[in-house]
Amino acid sequence: MKRAVFPGSFDPITLGHVDIIERGLKIFDEIIIAIGINAEKKYMWSLEDRKKTIEAIFEGNKKIKVKTYEGLTSEFCKKEEANCILRGVRNTSDFTYEQTIAQANAEVNGVDSFFLISSPKFSYVSSSIVRDLARNGGDYSLLVPKDVTN
């Protein structure tokens, strides 16, 4: 079975994330959406809300699992018997940042990374833009699945 981990904080999950996950299902038999926990980070949505929302979005899809984790993503991959990390990249800055991490994960832990380039219609969408809109009373409904705005 080809199992991949799609890690992130998903604060909140966006349509860009959903697009990468759905396209990733054409490559992998199973994708674990791994919500990372970083005690030093201040989140806008609670961990419970993020997990429930993602589970609702993919409800009924047996190829998707939603889990939380702390620590290194590559260690989580080993624990879950996944030898691949799936990442979405929107631009060259994303790629440059992800490339170094991917090379370290491969060298140190034997976990390969697969990059999917974002679909053009989602290339500007990020969780930080959604948080900024939400914080300032803006309409972010076109950037996230409907479950996020409920």
pLDDT digits (tens, 9 = 90+) for 98-130: 999 999 999 988 999 999 999 999 999 999 999
Domain boundaries, the chain: 3-148
Q: Is 23 one of the annotated active-site residues of the chain? A: no
Q: Would you say 28 and 2 are in contact if contact means Cβ atoms under 8 Å apart?
A: yes
Q: What's the token pair of residue 137?
A: 């009373």
Has 93 been labeled as part of a binding site?
no
pLDDT per position as a tens digit, 54-106? 999 999 999 999 999 999 999 999 999 999 999 999 999 999 999 999 999 99
Residue 150 has pLDDT above 70, yes or no: no
Q: What pTM was computed for the model?
A: 0.94
Has 51 been labeled as part of a binding site?
no
Has 144 been labeled as part of a binding site?
no
Q: Is 90 one of the annotated active-site residues of the chain? A: yes
pLDDT score at 148: 81
Q: Is 135 one of the annotated active-site residues of the chain? A: no
CATH code: domain 3-148 is: 3.40.50.620
pLDDT band at 11 (very low <50, low <70, confident <90, very high): very high
pLDDT score at 128: 93
Cα–Cα distance for residue pair 147/150, rounded to 1 Å: 5
Q: Is 41 one of the annotated active-site residues of the chain? A: yes
